[in-house]
Structure 1
C-alpha cells in the first residue's frame, strides 16, 4: 500500500529537516524541535502536521522573521527545471511554506521576495494568500509583474495564488473586488505555452464562473476574438461547469 501524503512528515522527516537547517544554522536546537513535534505528529492529519511543524520551527528558532527567512533561503536547494516535481522533489519544503503563511502577513517585502524564490523549488500559493488579503492592490500589482516573469514557476504562482476557490485554502474574493487588476494577471497568461499555467488560468475561470457568471462572461467575450490555441484550451477547460 502506498504511503499517504501525511505519512512523509514523520520522525524521519523531522530529523531530515533539522539536519538541513543545521547545515546553515548550527544553533538550531534539533532535540527541542523533535521533542515538540514527536510523537504528537503521528496523530495528526496532513494540514495539522504542517501547522505543528511550522509553529514548532517558530518556537525553536526564536529569531526575527527576516532572519528566519534568511536561513530558510539557504536550504531551498536547486530550482526545479519546469512546473513538475513539486511533490516528488520539493515536498520537504512544505512546513517552511506554512511558516511563511502563518507568520508572514505583516512583512510584505520580505514575504513576497522569499515566496518568489520558494516557488522555484516547491510551490508557494498558500504563502501569498494572507499577503493578498491584507495588501490586495499592492499584491495584485506585484503578481501582474510576476505573470510576465521569465520563470514559468513564478508565472504559475501569479495565477494560482489569486484563485477564488484554491483547494485547501479559505475562499478569497480579491479577484471579484479588484476585477480589472485580477483580469490583467490572467490576460498576461492566456497564451502561455506551459500546460500547468494553462490549467491554473482555466481553474481561475472556473472559480470565477461559480462566483460571478457576469465577470466570467466579460473575460470570455474579451478573449474569444481570434484566440490562440492555448487560449482556446483555457476557455474550454475553464467553461467545463457552464450550464
Structure 2
C-alpha cells in the first residue's frame, strides 16, 4: 500500500468520528460529501490539501476555535523518537490545515505545532508562520532548542532548514544567521539521534547554499573537546562536501 492510500474515505470517516466526539456539531455528511468524488483519485499532497480545505469548509469557526477542537483529539504523546509517520500519520491533515490557515495567529499556531510535533511532526506547518513572523519565530525556536522534549528540540532545527524536502526553499536562517548558528549550536551535542540528523541536514543544506558559512560553523565546533554526537553531526552534515571533493578528484 502506498502512503497516500491511508488517506481514503474510510480514513475520512475515522477523522470525522474523532472530531465529532469532541465537537458534536461537526457535520460528517458535509465533510464526506466534499471528499467523496475526488479524494481517492488524488496523489498524496493533493489529498492532504483537499482534506484540510474540506475541514476548513466544514468547520465554519474562528481559527482559534478550530485549533482548540484539533487539540482535543491529539491523544497521548509518542514515546521515544519514532512513530511520527506510523502511529501519528492520521494527524497529517491537521498539520496541513495549520500550514494553509495558521499564519493568522502566531501564538495559537506555534503552541499547536509544539503539541502536534509530540505526536506527529510540525516542520511544514511552521514554515508559513516563520515566513510571516521571522524574528519572533527565531526567538521562539531558540527557546524550543532548549526544550526538555526531544521532539520539540528536533522541530526547532527541522522547520528552519533551507532545503526541507517537499517544501519550498526558505532563507530565514540566513537572514537571521547569528540566531540560526546559536540554535544549531544548542543542539550539536543532543543525545537524540533524530535531532542530530536534523542538525546535520541543516549543515548539509548550508553547504549547498553558502559553503563559507558551513566551514565557519564546522571550524568553530571542531575545537576540542568535541562530543561523539557533534562528531557524527559534522560527518553526516559534510556528505555533500565529501561527494564534491570525490568528484573533483576523479
Q: Give the TM-score category using the shorter length.
A: over 0.9
1:81 positional shift: 1.1
Take 1:180 and 1:218, find their aligned partners in 2: how far apart are those partners? 12
The match for 1:237 is: 236
After superposition, what is the alpha-carbon deviation per residue over 1:36-67, rounded to whole angstroms, capped at 9, x for unaligned?
01130111100000000000000001000000
The match for 1:205 is: 203
Runs of at least 5 residues in structure 1 that lack an aligned partner in the other structure:
none
Name which of 4, 7, 14 aligns with 2:5: 7
The match for 1:215 is: 213
Take 1:185 and 1:104, find their aligned partners in 2: how far apart are those partners? 24
Take 1:40 and 1:205, find their aligned partners in 2: how far apart are those partners? 40
Take 2:120 and 2:215, find their aligned partners in 1: how far apart are those partners? 33
TM superposition score normalised by structure 2:
0.95
Matched position secondary structure for 1:241: helix
Take 1:67 and 1:218, find their aligned partners in 2: how far apart are those partners? 45
4+ residue runs of structure 1 moved beyond 2 angstroms? none
1:163 aligns with 2:161: yes
The match for 1:29 is: 27
Take 1:15 and 1:135, find their aligned partners in 2: how far apart are those partners? 35
Take 1:85 and 1:21, find their aligned partners in 2: how far apart are those partners? 22
Question: Over the residues paired in the alignment, what is the CA RMSD in angstroms?
Answer: 0.6
1:127 aligns with 2:164: no
1:92 aligns with 2:108: no
Aligned residues: 241
1:106 positional shift: 2.0
After superposition, what is the alpha-carbon deviation per residue over 1:95-122, rounded to whole angstroms, capped at 9, x for unaligned?
0000000000121111001111111011
